[in-house]
A and B are shown apart, each in its own frame.
Chain A
C-alpha cells in the first residue's frame, strides 16, 4: 500500500480522511484523532464536568469510530457522525451515574496515617485572572444547571460551532425546534447568570 505523507493528510477533508481510513490507511485515523480530540474533550466536558470521564469518553468515541469505520457513509458529515456517537456515549454515562449510589469516604479515625490531604490554595490569583476565573465559574455553573434539552444544542452551536443542519441530525430534531431551543437556551443561560450576579433581584 502506498504511503501518504503527513502534509498530504493534513490537506484532506475529514470525509476524505475517513475514506482513506476505510481503505486501510491507519495514518488517516491518527490525523482525525489529532483534529478532533481537543474539540471532543471540550464538548464532552459540558456533559460530564469531569476531565477523567471526558478522557474516557473521548477514548471510547475514537474506539467506536475505529471499530465502526465501515458503517460510515459519505452522505453524512464525518463530524456529525462522530458527535452523534460521542453524545450517545455521554448520555449513557449520565444515566449510569444517576443510577449509582454516592459513597463518601471519611477519614479513618483508627488509622494514625490517614490524614486529610493538604491542597494548594488556587484561589489567590492576579485580578484579571481572578475575574476571568469567576466569570468562567459562573458560566460553568449556569451551563450545568441549564435544562439538558437546551444545553445540548447551545453547546453544539455556540461552543462547538456546528451548523444548524448538523445539530438537527445529531439531536434528531427538526430544524425549527433546534433553532427555537438554541434561542431559549441562550436566554435561559443569561437568566441564570443574572441570578448569580444579582441574586437580590430574583423574586421568591
Chain B
C-alpha cells in the first residue's frame, strides 16, 4: 500500500482524518483477527521517518488518554513524545497510568507487568501496547494462537521479541476481563494483534 503525505495534516505528525481512519482500521482488523497481519498507513516520505509504532497512538490518542513512550532513545532524531503530545493533545504520563503505550525498542518483562490492566468492572481502562519488532516473521519460535477471532489455531513467528515476552504477557492477561492488548508493529508498518483474549503457546522451531 502506498500512502502519501496527504495522510499527515500540516506540520508535525498529526494524522489527517483519512490517515487516522486507516490506522484505526488496521488496529481494529489486527485485534479482531489475532495473528493475521494488517497494514498501518506508513509514510516512507516523511522525514525524519516516523516510527511506525507511533501510528496507532497518533490515531487513537486524545486529551483523555494518557500516553507513554518507551525506548525513544532508539530514535534520537526527534522528541517523539513531544511530537505525539503536540499532535494529539494527549498528556504524557507514567507507564502505570498510560492507556496507550508505544515501545520503540524491546520492552522488558518487568515493564509489561507494570502496564495498566483495568479492573473487572472497567476493563476498558487497560493499556494498549504497541511494540516495535524487527520483523513479523522469521523469529526463532512459533507462537500458536487460539481464542476468539482465531478459527482453530494459527501460528506466528515474530522476530526480535524478548524471550520473556510471552510469559510476562500471560501474567498481564491472567485476570480476564482485565488485561492488556498488544500490537506487534514491524518496521514497514505491518501489524499483528494480540488481544487479551488470545492464548499463546510458545514452541521452539
- The answer to whether A and B interact is no
